[in-house]
Amino acid sequence: MSNKIYIVTGALGCIGSWSVYHLVKRGDKVISFDISDTSHRLDLLLSPEEQKAVTFVRGDLADPAQVLEAFQKHQITHVLHLAALQVPFCRTNPVKGAQVNVVGTINVFEAAKQTGISHIAYASSIAVYGPSSDYPHGPIIHDALFAPRTLYGTYKQANEASAKVYWQDYQLGSTALRPHTVYGIGRDQGLTSDPTKAMLAAVLNQPFTINFSSRVQLQLASDVALQFIEAADIPLNGAYGFNMGGEAYTAPQIIDMIHKIKPDAPITFVERVLPFPETFDDSALKSYFSNVYYTPIENGINQTMAHFEKSLQDERFAKVLIV
């Protein structure tokens, strides 16, 4: 058994639950740090028996003392910092959004610095970029100019700028990953959660309308989690941020793929363009990491819908698997 001890902030969220899942399956020691007291996403992935391998800490990322205590008490060696409030929550409560997303991230860097950790992996987002009209035609190149149009995006931008200063002043290295549209089991909230909700609705045979039409780069939550683990495991010399890649699909294309599995599912979409570019170039990520995880979309949708189908047979999930 390795002597690595991972902390996953936001471990009860979508990407967090998948990260915990992979770490537990690998036999690593995991500390879950989350403010939530419900583990419905993790329950969909790991049995109660399997969850006994996880140490659960209920804590608020915005409180520096609680974050530092978790790092010290559990002798953390590896960090996946994923906790954040997503776009709609930041829009509703900008102050809270900044406390969690910006101050919370500083709290993680400080705890890492104070406990002698030399590298962390954390979640940024393609929301650091502006709309397509800000950029030349085609996939957005690595580290194109940041021009966020949401507060959430400005918070992520602040985090990437802070990370550079932690490297410059303290040699605390970091790798930020910028997912686009994560889908899969557990993706039940946030601006781009509709493709996953549509998959669940199709399994439930309920009507659902995807709230956008423009192309999104769909990234399977399981793959994204594996990439965060890779980023935590392989320290880089500096403060890096990487776009994630993959094929981009419009809402009608996503619906067509869902219809291949559930031909009569009453899924529709509205004509609306999301306020960020449709495709990002991940060649920088590929040049720094030998493993870049990407499940082809049709396999990912198949796996997700089969997982929903199977979970719905378990009465524990009837209350959480709703759209």
Ligand X SMILES: NC(=O)c1ccc[n+]([C@@H]2O[C@H](COP(=O)([O-])OP(=O)(O)OC[C@H]3O[C@@H](n4cnc5c(N)ncnc54)[C@H](O)[C@@H]3O)[C@@H](O)[C@H]2O)c1
CB of 174 to ligand X, least distance (A): 14
- Name which of 6 and 237 has its Cβ closer to ligand X: 6
Identify which of 66, 40, 62 has the alpha carbon closest to the alpha carbon of residue 51. Answer: 40
- Name which of 84 and 305 has its Cβ closer to ligand X: 84
Cβ atoms of 155 and 102 within 8 Å: the answer is: yes
CB of 241 to ligand X, least distance (A): 12
CB of 263 to ligand X, least distance (A): 27
Strand ranges (E), the chain: 5-9, 29-34, 54-58, 78-81, 119-123, 173-178, 181-183, 208-210, 216-220, 239-243, 248-249, 267-269
CB of 3 to ligand X, least distance (A): 26
- Name which of 29 and 81 has its Cβ closer to ligand X: 81
CA dihedral 273, 277, 278, 281 (to 10 degrees): 180
- Name which of 208 and 259 has its Cβ closer to ligand X: 208
- Name which of 13 and 173 has its Cβ closer to ligand X: 13
CB of 182 to ligand X, least distance (A): 3
Q: What are phi and psi of 5, to 5 degrees?
A: -130, 115
Cβ atoms of 213 and 271 within 8 Å: the answer is: yes
Identify which of 23, 2, 4 has the alpha carbon closest to the alpha carbon of residue 222. Answer: 23
Cβ atoms of 27 and 35 within 8 Å: the answer is: no
Instruction: Please identify which residue in the block is written with the tokens 């449709």.
Output: 278
Q: What are phi and psi of 8, to 5 degrees?
A: -115, 110
- Name which of 82 and 231 has its Cβ closer to ligand X: 82
CB atoms < 10 A from the CB of 22, how many? 17
Kindly list the residues in this chain that would bind ligand X in the complex (CB under 6 A). Answer: 10, 12-16, 34-36, 60-62, 82-86, 100, 104, 123, 125, 179, 181-182, 187, 189-190, 192
CB of 10 to ligand X, least distance (A): 3
Residue nearest to ligand X (CB): 13
